[in-house]
Amino acid sequence: MDKKTLRRYGIVGRSSRMKALARTIDRIAPTDVSVLIVGPSGSGKELVAQALHSDSPRADRPFVAINCGALAEGVLESELFGHEKGAFTGSVGKREGLFHKADGGTIFLDEIGETKPGMQVKLLRVLEDGHYYPVGSSVPQRVNVRVVAATNRDLTEAIADKQFREDLYFRVSAVKLVVPPLMERRGDIQPLLQWFLREQPKLECSDSALEKLAHYDWPGNVRQLSNFVSRMVALKPEGLIENEDVDSFLAEQYASATHLPVSTGRTVEEAGQELIYRAILSLGNEVRILRNLITSNLPNEAEIQRSSPPVDVPLQGSTMEEMERAVIEQILVETGGNRKEAAQKLGIGERTLYRKLSKYNLS
């Protein structure tokens, strides 16, 4: 039953949370109740909104979507409600807004939490009685639409900070649906990957690469995973997605998250705290990899008795780079300088090993 429901709504996944989400959509889609979809960017909120529309009595009428956070307040008002000729500079003719275009259907207000107080008042009016005023007009227009809204913010906090109207919140959130981030449903990564690769039968993902992907936190969620697949299709249209392919992608993601200036809606202090948190997570991941690298290559008692004294690996007081250099030296000694075998024992690609040999001036 759950599989059929997921498939009907185009939801790819097998986690219990996505199955529960699909069951809730199934119950409320046939109604006219307003819905607030909460989830981080890239998690699939618009897909949920489309599912609500496609299984409703309004399915044969328009589904109209707009990102409220992408437009300035004046532009957003004109986009939503339309305007009269001469309403502002450049308005050379009358234009119908998105509410008019969605009449009889569904309008999806993405990132409603980014709207300004003045716009929130206008949205509240149309939600309460179905009436709105085009910009530059004193004649009210009536519309019959189902409103589905979405946000990646905690609107209860926005209400406490006087940034979002409480009455509007109650109007748009008769039912609240939560789309969990990808890091909270890691079991969905494999089926999503298979779905994105469905039209690329010559490109597959190795088990070890899949395991790495499953352990990444995916701050950009499903959209970021889709971006990874698009990258692989462009760079490697056939063959096997290997560890080094994932390593290269993740290195770019960490670098972008650290260095690119982006608008996040957070204060400087909050953004700084997040960067520190991400750096700690990244460092912790490197430490785990290094620890596994060292312990996996420690000889057992029989090997110790048979072998010559091992290369000394300085641990106390050493940096991670010094420890990594020592481990690579030890493996090269054990393999008699065979770089292919050394890379296999280290669990890294040959190209990665060559880069590290160059970095540490190891011949």
Question: What tens digit of pLDDT does each residue of 308-346 get?
Answer: 444 455 555 567 777 788 888 888 888 888 888 888 888
Question: What tens digit of pLDDT does each residue of 246-274 get?
Answer: 999 988 888 776 544 444 455 555 555 55
Confidence band for 276, pLDDT divided at 50, 70 and 90: low
- Helix boundaries (H) for 146-300: 155-160, 166-172, 189-196, 207-215, 221-235, 243-259, 268-296
Average pLDDT, the chain: 84
**Is the four-CA dihedral 153, 158, 161, 164 of positive or negative sign?**
positive
Enumerate the CATH 1.10.10.60 domain ranges in the chain, comma separated.
Answer: 290-359
- Give φ, ψ of 93 to 5 degrees: -160, 165
Give the model's pLDDT for residue 195: 93
Enumerate the CATH 1.10.8.60 domain ranges in the chain, comma separated.
Answer: 188-260
Enumerate the CATH 3.40.50.300 domain ranges in the chain, comma separated.
Answer: 2-180
The dihedral formed by the CA atoms of 79, 82, 88 and 91, expressed in degrees to the nearest 10: 90
Q: Give the N- to C-terminal CA distance of the chain in Å, as an integer.
A: 60
Q: What span, in angstroms and rounded, lies between the C-alpha atoms of 16 and 2?
A: 10
Asked if 330 contacts 313 with a C-beta cutoff of 8 angstroms, the reply is: yes
Give the model's pLDDT for residue 57: 95
Contacts of 131 (CB under 8 A, 6+ apart): 125, 140, 141, 142, 143
Q: What span, in angstroms and rounded, lies between the C-alpha atoms of 350 and 37?
A: 46
pLDDT at 275 over 70: no
One-letter amino acid of 244: E
10 Å CB burial of residue 225 (0-12, 13-18, 19+) is buried
Q: Report the alpha-carbon angle 74-107-120, nearest 5.
A: 40
Work out the average pLDDT over 99-122: 95
Overall pTM surpassing 0.95 (yes/no): no
DSSP string, 257-275: HHH-----S--HHHHHHHH
Percent of the chain with pLDDT over 90: 52
Helix or strand or coil: residue 146?
A: strand
From the candidate CATH numbers 1.10.8.60, 3.50.50.60, 1.10.260.40, 3.60.110.10, the one assigned to the domain spanning 188-260:
1.10.8.60
CATH architecture, domain defined by 290-359: Orthogonal Bundle (1.10)
Give the model's pLDDT for residue 216: 92
How does 139-149 read in b/e, with b if 16+ C-beta sit within 10 Å?
eebebebbbbb
Lowest mean pLDDT among 6-15, 221-230, 267-276, 325-334: 267-276
Helix or strand or coil: residue 24?
A: helix
From the candidate CATH numbers 2.60.40.10, 3.40.50.300, 3.40.50.980, 2.40.110.10, the one assigned to the domain spanning 2-180:
3.40.50.300
Helix or strand or coil: residue 347?
A: coil
Confidence band for 279, pLDDT divided at 50, 70 and 90: low
Q: What span, in angstroms and rounded, lies between the C-alpha atoms of 113 and 173?
A: 12
CA proximity to 80, closest of 144, 147, 134: 134
